[in-house]
Amino acid sequence: MNQLDQLRQHTAIVADTGNFRQFAAFAPSHACTNPSLILKAVQQSEYAPLLAAAVTARKSRPLDRIVDEVLVRFGLEILKIVPGRVSTAVDVRLSFDTAGSIAGAHRLVDLYERAGMGRERVLIDVAATWEGIQAAKALEHEGIHCQLTLLFAFCQAVACGEAGVTRVAPFVGHIHDWHKQAAGAAWDEAAMAGANDPGVRSVAQIYTYYKHYGIDTEVMAARFRNLGQIEALAGCDLLSIGPELLAQLQSRQAPLRRALDPESARRAVVHAATFNEPAFRYALNDDAMASEKLAEGIRAFAADAAQLEKQVEGLK
């Protein structure tokens, strides 16, 4: 049994790509989309007809509504392939606008439902700012399931759990990158690998906390840099993995043991935490890595969203 199949025994596999024609090779259970992934996909000629059809269908509408249509068109195609859910992102430029994020989510869900796809197959991607978490809390009460992304700090995870969001997506590789850069010449790659990787430790802490306290929010680790990070998180609820690493897992036959499990988490010594808005903002600000990576991630997603808009505008 190859390592990808071994991993499936404990963990749901999520394809971290907008190139859904690659899915057949890896048979993921779920898939993630966002403007960055879709922007990469639409650079390929095979997706040009899908992009053109989405733009043509809504040509007279405002640009942001046409982009929503593009995202949902890709999501619908992906849902023909995966048996689980697809995530679709609210405009990241609404990350500090609770009401705007809620309205954006409603538009996306409406597009899916008008196309005959039930909201139970869709996750709305929202940045894990305080405002984003409050938007997700309100949406979950309406039966709109949310995935909180750009999650780097424990306070973000705790607040998401308290809000009852469906899924959180901590970015393993981004956390790793920050600590490696901060350490500079003192970084010891071998010593900081596997379970000692700072990104892996962050996800393991969140997983243990949720399972220990019976919090239903799923943990989906994402943005991996190497196979060691994936192996160290085998057993996590979900792992979002790019095509290159999926192919490597598929080609390896070595045993892959479960690293995270709920029983061990329930037995662990874990202290309860809670964060109101002032405490959340202070804790996030006090974590240099998390505050810097959150801001950087919002800027990067916003730049890709603007670039996708330019692509769409050129077809109007």
Report whether pLDDT(205) > 80.
Answer: yes
Q: What is the pLDDT of residues 1-52, one digit of tens each?
A: 999 999 999 999 999 988 888 888 899 999 988 888 888 888 888 888 888 8
Per mean pLDDT, which range of 56-65, 101-110, 189-198, 274-283 is the poorest?
A: 56-65
pLDDT given at position 113 = 98
pLDDT given at position 160 = 98
Q: Find, among 258, 259, 156, the residue nearest to 210 by Cα.
A: 156
Q: What is the pLDDT of residues 92-142, one digit of tens each?
A: 999 999 999 999 999 999 999 999 999 999 999 999 999 999 999 999 999
Report whether pLDDT(58) > 80.
Answer: no
Q: Give the angle subtended at the CA of 14 by the CAs of 141 and 252, to the nearest 5°.
A: 155
pLDDT given at position 300 = 95
The token duo for 90 is 């609210």
Residue-wise DSSP of 52-108? HHHHHHTTTS-HHHHHHHHHHHHHHHHHTT-SS-EEEEPPGGGTT-HHHHHHHHHHH
Backbone phi, psi, residue 307, to 5°: -70, -40
Q: Find, among 122, 148, 120, 123, the residue nearest to 134 by Cα.
A: 148
Beta bridge partners of 24: none
Give the relative orientation of helices 288-313 and 172-183 as an angle to the nearest 10 degrees. 120
Using alpha carbons, list the distances in angstroms from residue 87 to 1, 101, 105.
Answer: 29, 15, 11
Q: Please give the residue range of the domain that contains residue 193.
A: 3-313
Domain total of the chain: 1
Give dist(CA 252, CA 278) in Å, integer: 47
Q: Average model confidence (pLDDT) for the chain?
A: 95
Q: The domain spanning residue 113 has which CATH number?
A: 3.20.20.70
Q: Find, among 105, 151, 146, 162, the residue nearest to 128 by Cα.
A: 151
